[in-house]
Structure formats: C-alpha cells, structure tokens
Amino acid sequence: MPKHTASNAPYSHQPQIMQTKSKTLVVGLTGGIGSGKSAASAWFAQQGIDIIDADVIAHEIVVKGSSTLRKIQKKFGDWVLNDDGSMNRAAVRTYVFTHPEALIELEAITHPAIRETAKAQLATSTSPYAVLSAPLLIEGAEAGLANLCQRILVMDATEETQLARASRRDEQSVQKIKAIMTNQLSREERNRHADHVILNESDLASLYVKLEPLHQEYLTLAQQLKYAAD
C-alpha cells in the first residue's frame, strides 16, 4: 500500500469502501510510542467522533473473573494472578518480554477477545464515522484490527521526538522506551501501510490544523459509504 501524506487524496482502500456492507466508516489510528496518537484521538473525540481504543479494551477483557483471564490462568498457571484474583500485569509483562513464545501464546488468547469487543463497540457507534485506535494496529496481524478499517491514519515522528515525548509522559528510561520502539514496526514500514501520514513534530495547534481537513474528508467518505450501503 502506498504511502500518502495528509494532503494526498486517499485511494488504496476505495474498493473496500464500495464493497463493504457496513454503514460505518472506520478509521484506524496508529503510531509509534510518543508519536501523538493519544493527542489525535482526543481531538477526534472532541469533534464528536466515537473512539474505540484497543488499549482500553485490552485492559477490560482481563478484569478479575473474566473468561479471558481464566484462559490465561489455565495456560500459564496461578502465578498470573494477584492475591485478590486480579491479573498480575507486571509479572505477565516481564515474563512475555523474556519469553517470545509465551507472548505468542498470550496474544492467541487476547487478540480474538480484543477483536470481538472492538467489533461490538463499532456496531453500536452512532457518530458519522468511528476511530479505532491501536498502537499495534498494523503489527497485530492476529488481532485483525486493521481489517476492520477502511482508512488507516498513521501518526509519525522522528525517533528523537518519540524518545523526548515518551520520557516526559511516562517517566520511563530511554533504554526502556527504545526497547518498546524495537518491538514496533519501523517508521518506514508503518507509513507504507497508511492511507494518510501526519508528521507530528510540532505543537498541538499545528497537529489540529493537519487533522481538520482529514476530519472533513472522513465525513465525506462516511456519507459515500452510507449511500453505497443503502
């Protein structure tokens, strides 16, 4: 899929829009750590657009007593639970970080649950279009989240900007942030999958100026999709 800038007219997903039976345009929003994905998501929400956040869903599906958490416990053992029955996120995160095969097994449990929950939330969306926000929208092939989208918008930033923003926001060490970035797609590969790419190297006001024309374009596409599905 060719890379596009925010000023380019998108075309790579057009056939999917005309063929889908859904009446809701879904825009996939993604980007590396510190790229400004959260800021963009918040701006779309301020415009009245429903936001389906995969990170939020990932937490919701493993709450205490959930079927997904029981599957994780059965697969890995009781050590994945805290004394109160909630998920010991720190222990699980540390374990899968050092055991790649365990991460694959964990994702085989969580990804289908994330996808089904995202689909359910999209089905109840009432805004002109919906934004599906996921940091690993493209990487998480098993989750199939990108396949739920008709447009993919990537927030892009240089590595220096990513490191600076992420360290300020989360007070994480540069080494830890770099480790997270290593597990994500490169900027070039991520952008290659995008219909729109926004280079977010400045302040919020500059970001909003770039988002506004995309919002208007998505509103137009949403109307076209609605008419095509009728």
pLDDT for 62 beyond 60: yes
Nearby residues of 85 by Cβ (< 8 Å), 6 or more positions away: 64, 65
pLDDT > 70: percent of the chain: 87
pLDDT for 16 beyond 50: no
The tokens 């729109």 sit on which residue? 196
In this predicted structure, what is the pLDDT of residue 10? Answer: 34
Q: Are 56 and 50 in contact (CB under 8 A)?
A: no
Q: What one-letter code names the amino acid at 66?
A: S
pTM for this entry: 0.83
For all residues of the chain together, what is the average pLDDT?
A: 86
Higher pLDDT, 124 or 2: 124
pLDDT, average across residues 180-204 = 88
Q: Are 161 and 177 in contact (CB under 8 A)?
A: no
Work out the pLDDT band at 179, boundaries 50, 70, 90. confident
In this predicted structure, what is the pLDDT of residue 187? Answer: 86
pLDDT tens digits for 4-14? 334 333 333 33
In this predicted structure, what is the pLDDT of residue 185? Answer: 81
pLDDT for 74 beyond 70: yes
In this predicted structure, what is the pLDDT of residue 196? Answer: 96
In this predicted structure, what is the pLDDT of residue 13? Answer: 38
